[in-house]
Structure 1
Amino acid sequence: MTAEPTHLARLLRETAATAILPNWHGIEARHKSDGSFVTESDLAAQRHLAAALARDFPGIPLLGEEMTPAEQEQMLQQADRALWVVDPLDGTSNYAAGFPAFSISLALIEGGQPVLGAILDPVRDECFVAAKGQGASLNGQPIQPFAPSRSLKDCLAMADLKRLPPAQLQTITSHACFSSQRSLGSVALEWCWLAAGRFQLYLHGGQKLWDYAAGRLIADEAGAAACHLIPDSLEPSPAITLEPRLAIAAANVELLAAWRACLELDVTAD
């Protein structure tokens, strides 16, 4: 069977209906070894989606957030051929607290690059999908970024301040070169909302592969401008790695240039 965006959207909706939405509100969250949260819904969603992908696309391995680091490293070795990357519940702390901003993220990597991505917001029943070179869509309708003007002062920024390097944290809090700032708490949805024109500037200091594999593809295919950096050196980073990456993006290349200048990040889109 050939992987298609509509098929992936159906699998994500089935997973949400089975493993995520029935348990929303009141579920207990616990800390993992890296300090992040996990619930039984995360684990159930990964099991459900892994079984569905193995049934429909046998022979393609899966790298999931809820695997051990050793298992993830082993799976990553398949990225030059074909590999599913899954975040079964992106925004677990939101989910556990009852805040309606979480998602399921699924990407297909071939030749070391994401080629297909699907992200479902189960609360709003919004499914964002993209295929390499074919654009991005939301529930079947094409999407693209939106910018009210060429000025950062007119732009809404989505910025996760917690994981930023100290220099960039000081810069963003002192310069205030944008109109206003938000943080959604689901990296996958943040990439999708940039792609759909719901804000114009993006900054996040520590994204993992399963956070951005599908979302970055959707944003790129919609027409946004973005790059990932190694946090310590702020050098451009290969897309496929298990190490956290700093993300900077904007609705278009002109705004990205102004955004990186404001943040004193002299980088170009990769």
Structure 2
Amino acid sequence: MTIRDDHVLAGDLAAEAGERLLALRDEEGFGDPSALRARGDAESHRFLMEALARLRPSDSVLSEEATQQERLDSRRLSAERVWIVDPLDGTREFAEEGRQDWAVHVALWERGVLTAGAVALPAQGRTLSTAEPPVLPGPPAGPEAASGQEPVARPGGGRVRIAVSRTRPPEFVQKLAYLVGADLVPIGSAGAKISAVLTGEVEAYVHAGGQYEWDSAAPVAVALASGAHASRIDGSALTYNQDDPSLPDILVSLPGLAPTLLAGIRDLHR
């Protein structure tokens, strides 16, 4: 494993954890999904915690799989550098044979901002990282769509696509899609959804109704490094390493589409 800087480290750790998860899938099979999910969460968490303790021993870590006591450790809140990790984002999809929409997240927060991050998509054979941020597709073409205006078109033509949860798409996002003339695309993990924005499979991801910092820190770091828009659904900034790690809503989109979506969301919440 090469250790040149934090960007490379995030990518290396996410990719290696992903390779280990793929091997675990092959070893365990899909006969007992609950056992596969539990083992995947635990083993990926253990690998990332041990690697960060060895390679960045003075840094703090916030992991989805940490104990409640570890999450409440006051040293994290006063630390200048905190790694925010989700060892297995999309546990449900990980344990379903053939599904590729699960991920590993590794992000670094420093003094109030995300400075490095990587999202490994092991079953897709790729890792998106701030070391080499993805090049975004072109901006949406056509008139803005909100408050009854004409639908906005995606790069290359066609209707805008918005990624949503497979299992619990927010009702207001269905209304937003109708308002702006968009299609909804169900995708598994949050990391896979945000990555789909960055790779051109969709143009936006909108979610409300419950998430945590580890669900979005790494993909948001990569999205911001790529020049994408990332915010709360009211347009305010996403903040990390908070006492309460709940971060219940998010909008990630191509930058030219963000004003349309934010205006539509405001209209729906009036």
How many equivalent residue pairs?
246
Select between 52-61 and 86-95 the one with higher mean Cα deviation.
Answer: 52-61
Distance 1:42-1:27 versus aligned 2 partners, 3 A rule:
farther
Q: Write 1 or 2 for the structure with the bigger share of strand.
A: 1
TM-score by length of 1: 0.79
The code of the aligned residue for 2:168 comes to K
Shift, 1:184, TM fit: 1.1
2:17 aligned residue: 15
Q: 2:104 aligns to what?
A: 104
> Does structure 1 conserve the Cα–Cα contact (< 8 Å) formed by 2:229 and 2:253?
yes
Q: How big is the shift at 1:210?
A: 0.4
Find 1:155's aligned residue among 127, 151, 160: 160
Shift of 1:80: 4.5
Q: Identify unmatched segments of 5+ residues in structure 1.
A: 32-36
Distance 1:200 1:87, change over 3 A: same
Matched, 1:263 2:270: no
Give the share of equivalent positions with the same residue, in percent. Answer: 22
Correspondence 1:72 to 2:71: yes
Match of 1:34 in 2: none
Partner deviation per Cα, 1:109-143 (whole Å, 9 max, x = no partner) = 11022110011111122111116xxxx52xxxx42
**Residue aligning to 1:210:** 214
Q: 1:13 to 1:217 in 2, by over 3 A?
A: closer
Indicate if the aligned counterparts of 1:62 and 1:83 stay in contact, CA closer than 8 A: yes
Question: C-alpha separation between the residues in 1 aligned to 2:202 and 2:196?
Answer: 7
Amino acid of the structure 1 residue aligned with 2:118: A
Larger RCO (CA under 8 A, 6+ residues apart)? 2
Distance 1:171 1:209 in 2: 26
Which structure carries more helix by proportion?
A: 2
**Equivalence for 1:129:** 129
Q: What displacement does 1:29 show? A: 4.3
Closer, same or farther: CA 149–126 of 1 in aligned 2, 3 Å = same
CA RMSD of aligned residues (A): 2.9
The question of 1:197 aligning with 2:196 is answered no
Which 4+ residue blocks in structure 1 deviate beyond 4 angstroms? none
Can you list the C-alpha shifts for 1:216-249, whole angstroms capped at 9, x where unaligned? Answer: 11111111112125xxxx5835511311321123
Aligned to 1:5: 7
| Counterpart contact for 1:146–1:200, Cα < 8 Å | no
Partner-residue secondary structure (3-state), 1:159: strand
Distance in 2, Cα, partners of 1:27 & 1:120: 25
